[in-house]
């Protein structure tokens, strides 16, 4: 038995399982999201020049921060019942969409920024990060049922 493995299954709580899952989802999404931002920034630099680069970096940064915020909410709600964790995860995804709408309404006030570069980079990064989070969740070793003393 290695040091990473618990001595018994009694050490695994629902909270620890959810926190481990959030960590695996973060690691699964991190590099793919950053790679998406780099590719989008390079593409928009070629297509639109410096305004495209700046806009793509802003959109990518906002998308990455919103993805991290969703996973932080998941970690912070890990001690709550599963229904609340799922509501928090859905609220995080909904928050990403609302952030996209708010950013698009605000970016129109700054003519130096490229609307398409910002929006498409943000959408691509959110889609890639969400896909990788789901993929990491499906492949996770954290998918187990932790029985509680009264529910066995």
pLDDT, tens digit, for every residue of 16-30? Answer: 777 787 787 888 788
Closest Cα to residue 104, out of 62, 46, 66? 62
For the chain, domain boundaries: 14-139
* Mean pLDDT, rounded, of the chain: 82
Q: How confident is the model at residue 1 (pLDDT cuts 50, 70, 90)?
A: very low
pLDDT, tens digit, for every residue of 115-151? Answer: 899 999 999 999 999 898 888 877 776 555 555 666 5
Q: How is residue 25 written in tokens? A: 């989802």
Alpha carbon distance 84, 48 (integer Å):
43
- Write down the pLDDT at residue 75: 82
Mean pLDDT of 34-54: 95
């Amino acid at each position: 038995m290695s040091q990473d493995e618990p001595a018994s299954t009694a050490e695994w709580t629902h909270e620890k399982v959810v926190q481990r899952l959030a960590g695996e989802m973060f690691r699964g999404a991190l590099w793919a999201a950053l790679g998406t931002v780099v590719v989008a920034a390079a593409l928009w630099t070629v297509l639109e020049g410096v305004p495209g680069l700046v806009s793509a970096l802003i959109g990518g940064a906002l998308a990455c921060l919103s993805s991290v915020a969703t996973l932080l909410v998941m970690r912070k709600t890990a001690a709550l019942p599963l229904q609340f964790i799922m509501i928090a995860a859905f609220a995080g995804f909904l928050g990403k969409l609302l952030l996209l709408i708010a950013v698009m309404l605000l970016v129109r006030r700054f003519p130096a920024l490229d609307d398409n570069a910002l929006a498409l980079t943000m959408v691509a990064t959110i889609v890639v990060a969400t896909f990788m989070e789901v993929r990491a969740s499906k492949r996770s070793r954290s998918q187990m049922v932790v029985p509680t003393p009264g529910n066995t």
